[in-house]
Amino acid sequence: MEVLVRDGKHLSNDSIPAQNSLRDLELTRQASELNNQEMIDNAITFEEWENYEDMESFTVWKLTCSTSID
């Protein structure tokens, strides 16, 4: 096992992925919040959807605004 030295302390490689995972989780959470807000900002009402004449354009628009949050 490789040992890293930081500020005179020995750290195993096992501690590094945990730190990266927490950072990645936070970045993912922030991105999800931005995506959710974007979806809310771009949402249309049912009445707008009923009056939408060009369904192909609507579908493209809807797919553009949609995001998948796992």
Residues 6+ apart with CB under 8 A from 13: 1, 2, 4
Give the C-alpha separation, 29 to 7, whole Å: 31
How many domains, in total, are found in the chain?
1
Residue 46 belongs to a domain: yes
Give the C-alpha separation, 24 to 1, whole Å: 24
Residue 47 belongs to a domain: yes
Entry pTM: 0.33
pLDDT of residue 1: 45
Higher pLDDT, 10 or 50: 50
Could you tell me the two tokens for 20?
A: 């990266």
pLDDT tens digit sequence for 7-38: 555 555 555 555 667 788 888 888 888 777 77
pLDDT of residue 38: 76
Residue 28 belongs to a domain: yes
Residue 70 belongs to a domain: no
Give the C-alpha separation, 8 to 3, whole Å: 12
- H-assigned helices in the chain: 15-42, 46-50, 55-65
Residue 58 belongs to a domain: yes
